[in-house]
Structure 1
Amino acid sequence: MSEPAPMVSPPTGAEPVRRPSRIWAFLVRLIRLAILFGMIVAIALLWQQVDDINSIRAAFGDRLDEVRTRLAETRAAQMPATELERRLTVLQTELDSTQEQARATARQVEPVLELLRQGRPAWYRAEALYLMQMANQALQLRGDAPAALRALWLADKNLEVLGDPRFLPVRETLAREMAMLRALPTVDVPGISLQLSTLAAGVEQWPLRHHVPSHWAANPPQAEQASRPAELWGQFLAAMRQLIEIRRNEEPIAALVSPELERLQRLHTILQLQAARLALLQRDADTFRRELDSALGSLSTYFDVADPEVRSAREQLEALREMPIDPKRPDLSGSLAQLRTLEAEMVMP
């Protein structure tokens, strides 16, 4: 039998310490590798998520662009329809208005066409009837007797052209009415109006009753002084005579008016004359005479009646007051009523 190997005792000193250090170093390296591997895995996962997010965003953007494109196409497809509907509405409105105007024109033209169908006599009768209506309006509304006379004369000429004996009573009445119009006194409205305008324009130059006379104004100072005592005494006496004047007046002395009141008095008189002129144009005889009376009162109250211009203005106003600016107007409805009666009898079957 062989002898057992001898027991080897572990070395003493540093050999037992180096083995644990190597183990810790290996563990540290292993942990570092694990951490590095984990970081790489985490970065890979994050990168994948970023790619997924970018893909989702790109897909969402493409979808949004598609939706916007479809919306724009839809709007573009709807716009012409809306515009067409609007234009159709406008055209329909214009068509309705044109049809209404056409119907109104037809209603207005229908009487004329009816007259044309009836022939020339119906046309002359209608024209005579219209002229008689115009004559009544001219006389009653405007007081224009010459225009009314001219209209009646033309109506009589139309009836004369017809030569129908049934219109002889109407022509007889027309003759009487024209004779009454010729008998009316002629009123020169333009001449009277111009006369009143001239008087109103002259009010500014008429002297007022309570105005300071010109001969009472102070004399200008003399340029040269008298050298002799006699001349000085004579000038003194002359100056005293001009300063002191004694007069007897049984009427109360009126106070002088201010420039503002003087202007007001002149404007008041001008307005009275213009109001009389307006009443003349309207053929309002009562107002015309009332305004002329007021103007005559203003002349007596405010102005110097001894002045020639004021006295002439008073005479003109008194003469105008007596003029008949609106004579009694005759009744011209007799011939019109007769013609209407005959027209109704001739139209009836």
Structure 2
Amino acid sequence: MLLVVVLAVALAFLAWEGWQRLENQQQRLDELAQKADNSATQADLADLNERLESGEAERNQALESTTNAMQQAFSEYRSEVNNTLDRVLAQLSQDQDADEREWLHAEAAYLLRLANQRLQLERDVEGAAALLRTADSVLNSADNPALTPVRREIASELAALDAVPRVDRTGIYLALNAQQERIATLRLAQEVEEQPVSSSIEEPPTGTFQRQLARFGEELKDLVVVRGHDEAMEVLITPEQESYLRQSLRLILEQSQLAVLKEEQALFEASIDKALDLLNRYYDTSRSETQGVISRLEEIKQTNVTPELPDISRSQQALAEFIENRYESRGGES
């Protein structure tokens, strides 16, 4: 056993010593490989750096060449634009020297065209009138008696615009809103008030069962009344139907408000008619509050939210004819 132990220790020592030698050799091999890699990496880096410097030099040269070309092209373009602008300004200066009033005529024509667009597209009576007054002031500055017919048409159109009735759309909108609030408090025609139950039986029934049954039959006859009707009875409105009815009426009045803002007369009147029909059919018209709302809605319905607009294009046509005749006369003279 001692010999076996000694041999085992000897083998272990030899194995450890061999392992240490292998590890030292592997470490030296790794160091050599790392040195080789470092040498190769430094060479690659040097080559890459050289190529980068060469590429950067070429890029700088190309950028400088492109910049010079762009500067030259921009300089030529600016010179051409300046020359063109000088020619245009010279031509305009000659036209202005020929007759300064041509600019005033063109400005007045533009204002008249804008006034027509404002009236026809936006139905802005006050804006169109302001543009007409500005155009008349410009024509007055031209100081040309030949423009008198044009200014006469402008004066006539201003008078027509002044005659257009002004619609207080904000007031109508608020009036309809006030009626909505009043309708929310009105009573329906089928609302039934709760009444206390009263009994005509003053004393408890006495006597035999047949006597009590006969007395109960007499009492029942007094409570139940049967009536005949030629027409069908209208079904009572449920709470859900009442809520739907009030909501529908509110939406109809909001539709009439929208018609006021959009200046749609037919929709405005039709919406109020629907509201009046619901009020007369389902609300208690015997009450003064309901009659007051109906009367106010009928009064609002008479409002003309889309007044007829005049034609203000005659002044624009007259000025266009004046400018055309002026150019023709100048062409004939030349």
What band does the TM-score fall into relative to the shorter chain? 0.5 to 0.7
Q: Confirm or deny that 1:197 pairs with 2:197.
A: no
Per-residue CA distance 1:24-78 (angstroms, 9 max, x = gap): xxxxxxxxxxxxxxxxxxx9xx97x996785455223320243256547766987
Q: Secondary structure at the residue paired with 2:304?
A: coil
Return the structure number with greater relative CO, CA threshold 8 A, min gap 6.
2
Residue 141 of structure 2: aligned partner: 161
The number of residues matched between the two structures is 265
Q: Does 1:259 align with 2:239?
A: yes
In 2, Cα distance between equivalents of 1:76 and 1:246: 116
Which structure 2 residues correspond to residues 32-51 of structure 1 after superposition, within 5 A? Answer: none
* Structure 2 counterpart of 1:192, one-letter code: I
Structure 2 Cα separation of the partners of residues 155 and 247 of structure 1:
83
Q: Indicate yes or no: 2:60 matched with 1:60.
A: no
For residues 204 and 283 of structure 1, the distance between their equivalents in structure 2, rounded to whole angstroms, comes to 27
* Correspondence 1:198-277 to 2 at 5 A: 198-212=178-192, 216-219=193-196, 253-277=233-257
Query: Structure 1 residues 120 and 211 mapped into 2: Cα distance closer, same or farther (>3 Å)?
Result: farther
Question: Is residue 125 from structure 1 mapped to residue 117 from structure 2 by the alignment?
Answer: no
Distance 2:53 2:274 in 1: 80
Question: Which AA in structure 1 matches 2:302?
Answer: E
Q: Percent same amino acid at aligned positions?
A: 26
Structure 1 residue 264: Cα displacement:
1.4
> Secondary structure of the equivalent of 2:184?
helix
Contact 2:183 2:293 (C-alpha < 8 Å) held by counterparts: no
Partner of residue 142, structure 1: 122
Q: Does 1:326 align with 2:306?
A: yes
Alignment correspondent of 1:224: none
Q: CA deviation at 1:310?
A: 2.2
Supply the distance in 2 between the matched residues of 1:164 and 1:189 (Cα, whole angstroms).
42
CA pair 259-347 structure 1, distance change in 2 beyond 3 A: farther
Whole-Å Cα distance in 2 between the matches of residues 53 and 69 of structure 1? 24
Q: 2:94, 2:158 → 1: CA distance?
A: 30
Offset at 1:115?
A: 9.7
Distance 1:329 1:218 in 2: 60
1:277-296 mapped onto 2 (5 Å cutoff): 277-296=257-276
Distance 1:204 1:75 in 2: 85
Check conservation: 2:264, 2:306, Cα contact below 8 A: yes
Matched AA of 2:250: I
CA distance in 2: counterparts of 1:277 and 1:125, whole angstroms: 43
Instruction: Give the TM-score normalised by the residue count of structure 2.
Output: 0.63
2:185 pairs with 1:185: no
Higher alpha-carbon deviation: 51-60 or 154-163: 51-60
Q: Give the letter for the 1:342 counterpart.
A: F
8 Å Cα contact 1:143/1:283 also seen in 2: no
Q: Which amino acid aligns with 1:288?
A: F
Whether 2:171 is the aligned partner of 1:171: answer no
Q: Partners of 2:223 and 2:46 in 1: how far apart?
A: 112
Q: Give the greater-gyration-radius structure (CA).
A: 1
SS of the equivalent of 2:105 reads helix
Taking structure 1 as reference, are residues 195 and 78 closer, same or farther at Cα in structure 2, changes over 3 Å only?
farther
- Residues 302/126 of structure 1: CA separation in 2 closer, same or farther (3 Å cut): farther
Structure 1 gap segments, 5+ residues each = 1-42, 222-228, 231-239
The secondary structure found in structure 2 opposite 1:205 is coil
Query: Which letter maps to 2:41?
Result: L
User: In 2, distance between residues paired with 1:151 and 1:79?
Assistant: 65
**TM-score, structure 1 length as denominator?**
0.61
